[in-house]
């Protein structure tokens, strides 16, 4: 009897849960009701009303035209074994280079010392041109080129295997990658202990691959790159600068992007108005449509930005953001 009185409250509690939360209770479970829903016909607009005009800010290309389009991949990166991101091995197709976040005048003495202490003999080392020739075999030599990178105050190091008789570059990507992977560890270790610079290689600091100039009143970025690498570099810069790419047409060298200055965007998201906000064109998203074009002429690539509303200042600001993010 004593146990019966003990069980009565428990039985009452269980029965109450069933009444309150069961299928027939006051608060029935509904999270699976959607499985029993039936698909209804689409809502149609009454005949006396018209659909509002809309602009497609994110057009999708016809899939039938995309079968033969090949997107150039972004450079693959291999970091030094120490995890130092300031030294990376990058690759685009068969082209490989070492990216170093320091000036060429600092990279030059480290590069020369690498070969001076290697098993190979140095034939020539020219700090003015940034070239080091190494005697590799009876028929081939290695040539290292130390160049200023796309990014400000950066170095790009290239290594080629060259036929001694013809002077042609021999394709041997496996060997080049293996040798460069050794070099990135050497650079990473050396940079942490090296504080000097080469006065003889100071001119390499001025040979920048990315330069800005004005053409017919418009700002242009000049890149000492072929089209493939310029396209890949600009694509990477857009991502790094958090600039929205709505579409791209590589065959015509064009990116279609949306862009607004961060401070301006933050203010408008809360419904405010900037000091020069005097037209509806300044609402977020409407005045930030651009075409970024890349053309290749005379071994150089040129990057231009055209604002949809013809605002030259906005185009200059966009190009400035891209230039800052190039690497």
For residue 195, what is the enclosing H or E element? none
Q: Which residues pair with 214 in a beta bridge?
A: 219
Across 214-227, average pLDDT: 93
Q: What are phi and psi of 210, to 5 degrees?
A: -115, 120
CA distance 29 to 27: 7
Say if residue 154 is exposed, middle or buried (CB neighbours under 10 Å; 0-12, 13-18, 19+).
Answer: buried
* 76-205 matches 209-272+283-325 in fold: yes
Checking if the pLDDT of 79 tops 80, the result is: no
Q: Which of 90, 108, 110 is nearest to 99 (CA)?
A: 90
Eight-state DSSP code of residue 25? S
Give the pLDDT mean for 156-165.
95
Alpha helix locations (H) across the chain? 2-21, 104-116, 173-193, 227-240, 262-269, 312-325
Average pLDDT score over the chain:
80
Task: Give the phi and the psi of residue 270 in degrees, each rounded to 5.
Answer: -100, 15
Higher model confidence: residue 261 or residue 20?
261
User: What are the domain boundaries of the chain?
Assistant: 76-205, 209-272+283-325
* Percentage of residues of the chain with pLDDT beyond 90: 54
CA 29 to chain centre: 48
Q: Which of these, 166, 163, 125, lies nearest to 144 by C-alpha position?
A: 125
How does 44-66 read in b/e, with b if 16+ C-beta sit within 10 Å? eeeeeeeeeeeeeeeeeeeeeee
Angle made by CA atoms 52, 57, 61, in degrees to the nearest 5: 110
What one-character-per-residue DSSP string does 127-150 give? TTTTEEEEE-SSSEEEEEEEEE-S
Q: What is the pLDDT of residues 183-194, one digit of tens each?
A: 998 998 888 887
Q: In CATH, which superfamily holds the domain spanning 209-272+283-325? A: Outer membrane protein assembly factor BamC (3.30.310.170)
Helix/strand/coil for 126: strand
Q: Are 290 and 234 in contact (CB under 8 A)?
A: no
| Greater pLDDT, 280 or 120 | 120
Q: Specify the 3-state DSSP secondary structure of 302.
A: strand
Q: Given phi > 0 = left and psi -120 to 50 = alpha, else beta, which region is 46? A: beta
Helix axes 312-325, 227-240, angle to 10 degrees: 100
Q: What's the pLDDT score for residue 233?
A: 94
Residues paired with 169 in a beta bridge: 162
Per residue in 125-148, is it b (16+ CB within 10 Å) or e — as a string? bebeebbbbbebeeebbbbbebbb
> Given pLDDT bands bounded at 50, 70 and 90, which one contains residue 53?
low
Query: How is domain 76-205 classified at the architecture level of CATH?
Result: 2-Layer Sandwich (3.30)
What are the φ and ψ backbone dihedral angles of 113, each rounded to 5 degrees?
Answer: -65, -30
- Phi, psi (5° rounding) for residue 176? -60, -45
């Amino acid at each position: 009897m004593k146990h019966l009185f003990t069980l009565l409250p428990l039985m009452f509690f269980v029965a109450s849960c069933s009444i309150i939360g069961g299928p027939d209770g006051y608060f029935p479970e509904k999270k699976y009701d959607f499985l029993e829903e039936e698909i209804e016909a689409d809502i149609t607009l009454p005949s006396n009303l018209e659909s509002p005009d809309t602009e497609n800010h994110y057009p999708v290309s016809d899939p039938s035209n995309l079968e033969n389009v090949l997107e150039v991949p972004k450079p693959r990166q291999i970091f030094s074994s120490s995890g130092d991101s300031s030294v990376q091995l990058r690759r685009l197709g068969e082209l490989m280079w070492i990216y170093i976040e320091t000036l060429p005048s600092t990279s030059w003495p480290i590069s020369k010392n690498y070969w001076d202490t290697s098993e190979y003999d140095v034939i020539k080392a020219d700090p003015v041109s940034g070239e080091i020739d190494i005697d590799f075999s009876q028929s081939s030599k290695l040539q290292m080129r130390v160049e200023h990178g796309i990014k400000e105050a950066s170095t790009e190091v290239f290594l080629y295997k060259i036929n001694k008789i013809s002077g042609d570059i021999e394709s041997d990507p496996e060997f080049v990658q293996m040798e460069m992977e050794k070099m990135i560890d050497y650079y990473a270790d050396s940079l942490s202990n090296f504080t000097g610079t080469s006065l003889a290689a100071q001119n390499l600091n001025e040979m920048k691959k990315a330069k800005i100039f004005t053409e017919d009143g418009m700002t242009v970025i000049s890149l000492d790159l072929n089209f493939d690498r310029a396209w890949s570099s600009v694509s990477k810069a857009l991502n790094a600068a958090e600039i929205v790419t709505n579409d791209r047409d590589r065959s015509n060298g064009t990116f279609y992007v949306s862009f607004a200055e961060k401070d301006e965007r933050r203010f408008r998201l809360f419904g405010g108005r900037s000091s020069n906000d005097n037209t509806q064109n300044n609402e977020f998203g409407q005045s930030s449509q651009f075409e970024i074009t890349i053309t290749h002429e005379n071994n150089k690539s040129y990057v231009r930005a055209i604002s949809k509303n013809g605002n030259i200042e906005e185009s200059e600001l966009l190009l400035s953001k891209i230039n800052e993010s190039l690497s």
